[in-house]
Structure formats: structure tokens, C-alpha cells
């Protein structure tokens, strides 16, 4: 199973990872080794540090429990466009 790789750590200690293909749940483990498994939700209201590093229109996902940030997988198509039928 592919693993989400650690890309960066922000100045406030927030981890930034790259999503594995088709990943929907957080893969972060706490101090005891327990898996977080929080749902990854698209995040639009990120701060200035994230805007500087990844751009103001970056596709960022955030875990609803531990607040770890995830960048999209480079192998998957971006989900930022509108749906076309």
C-alpha cells in the first residue's frame, strides 16, 4: 500500500504530506502509534505561510482531526476544475 510522504513542516509544527493515490483518510500516527484516520477535506482558508510556499490557489486538503495538511497526488488529475458532462 502506498504511503503519504512527508513534504514539509510549517513554522507552527503542522505537517505537510503528499497524498497517496485515491487517499481519503489521514495516515498520521500519534505518539502511541494509533492511526488518526480523519477524513481529508478540501481546505480553502489557509494562512500566509501556505500561500507563499504553495500558491494562493493551491489544492490543499486538511485532516478534520489532527489538522495535517495534504497536497494532491501528482499521478491523479487535479480536482479543481468544474465538472463537465
Could you read off the pLDDT of 20-33 as tens digits, one per residue?
Answer: 888 899 989 888 99
Consecutive H or E run containing 51: helix 48-54
Number of domains in the chain: 1
Q: In this structure, is residue 80 part of a structural domain?
A: no
Percent of all residues in the chain with a pLDDT value above 90, rounded to a whole number: 53
Q: Which domain covers residue 38, as residue numbers?
A: 5-71
In a domain, 78, yes or no: no
Burial classification of residue 69, based on how many CB atoms lie within 10 Å of its CB (0-12 exposed, 13-18 middle, 19 or more buried): buried
Distance CA(16)–CA(39), nearest Å, equals: 15
Enumerate residues 6+ apart whose C-beta is below 8 A from 56: none
What's the rounded Cα separation, in Å, for the pair 46 and 53? Answer: 11
Mean pLDDT value of segment 52-67: 92
For position 61, what pLDDT does the model report?
Answer: 94
Tell me: pLDDT of 19 over 80. Answer: yes
What pTM, to 2 d.p., does this model score? Answer: 0.83
- Does 79 map to a domain? no
Amino acid at each position: 500500500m502506498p504511503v503519504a510522504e512527508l513534504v514539509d513542516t510549517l513554522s507552527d509544527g503542522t505537517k505537510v504530506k503528499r497524498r497517496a493515490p485515491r487517499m481519503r483518510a489521514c495516515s498520521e500516527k500519534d505518539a502511541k502509534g494509533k492511526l488518526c484516520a480523519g477524513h481529508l477535506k478540501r481546505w480553502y482558508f489557509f494562512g500566509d505561510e501556505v500561500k507563499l510556499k504553495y500558491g494562493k490557489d493551491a489544492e490543499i486538503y486538511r485532516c478534520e482531526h489532527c489538522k495535517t495538511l495534504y497536497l494532491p497526488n501528482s499521478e491523479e488529475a487535479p480536482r479543481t476544475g468544474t465538472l463537465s458532462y
